Amino acid sequence: TVYPDSEQASVAVAQDIAGLIRQRAAEGRSCILGLATGSTPTRLYEELVRLHQQEGLSFQNVITFNLDEYFPMAPDSLQSYVRFMHEYLFDHVDIPVANVHIPDGTVPVEEVAGFCRRYEEQIREAGGIDLQILGIGRTGHIGFNEPGSGAASRTRLITLDHITRTDAASDFYGEENVPRRAITMGVGTILEAHEIVLLAWGEGKAAVIKRMVEGDMTDSVPATYLQKHPNVRVVLDEAAGAEL
């Protein structure tokens, strides 16, 4: 779906998420959301906060799993995704603390593989992800699944691509300060979500969106594996959709 601008797109996606949360609550069930960070979903999260504060949308039945986190990363660092999620969403809604899951950037490196296995188990025990929100990186990454990530990849430690570190440089006051690694859900993990909504705004994303939607499926552009999924929606503004 191409919207005139990211504002209208974000509000529409927030309405869809609110509808799912309310539907699950009416059925007495949890709603399991997979969440993304980055500049793309910030307006979406603001709108969810508004729906909570002004229209009584409750997050009591919501369980969340974030896609990724830099490694290493202290949760209280300016650039941590823990901090990001609290700032944009969790601190402003009534989600129970125990329902929030974000990969832990403080785990000792030799324990990361075990941590990643448990993260996947927690997703399974919750019943799997109902709705996964995704952004996309210029390298074609989803989460931090950089080029080379296969369709069957699982939650793991990954080395960040040079382009990704360049794009993150301003957040870290210089590329040399950007962590070299991250923990990310795998492409295979993401593809197990029942429904996926990928968001992209701006002309900077137009080329990678074209490759993702119209290109062949390949490890070189991991987002192309979304073509395999039966229930994906790509939500764009006009600039991001300009090359389709």
Active site residues: 146
Pair of tokens at residue 86:
């609290």
61 vs 241, beta carbon nearer ligand GLP: 241
As a whole number of angstroms, the distance between CA 140 and CA 220 comes to 8
102 vs 151, beta carbon nearer ligand GLP: 102
As a whole number of angstroms, the distance between CA 30 and CA 38 comes to 26
Helices (H), 156-241: 162-168, 187-191, 206-214
In the complex, least distance from residue 154 CB atom to ligand GLP, rounded to whole angstroms: 17
Minimal CA–CA distance to 138: which of 161, 155, 154? 161
22 vs 181, beta carbon nearer ligand GLP: 181
In the complex, least distance from residue 3 CB atom to ligand GLP, rounded to whole angstroms: 16
Burial annotation 183-193 (CB, 10 A radius, 16+ → b, else e):
bbbbbbbbbbb
Cα-only R_g, the chain? 17
As a whole number of angstroms, the distance between CA 109 and CA 233 comes to 35
In the complex, least distance from residue 112 CB atom to ligand GLP, rounded to whole angstroms: 17
In the complex, least distance from residue 124 CB atom to ligand GLP, rounded to whole angstroms: 22
29 vs 233, beta carbon nearer ligand GLP: 233
Contact criterion met (CB below 8 Å) for 188 and 154:
yes
As a whole number of angstroms, the distance between CA 178 and CA 90 comes to 25
What residue ranges bind ligand GLP (CB under 6 A)? 36-40, 67-68, 135-137, 143-144, 164
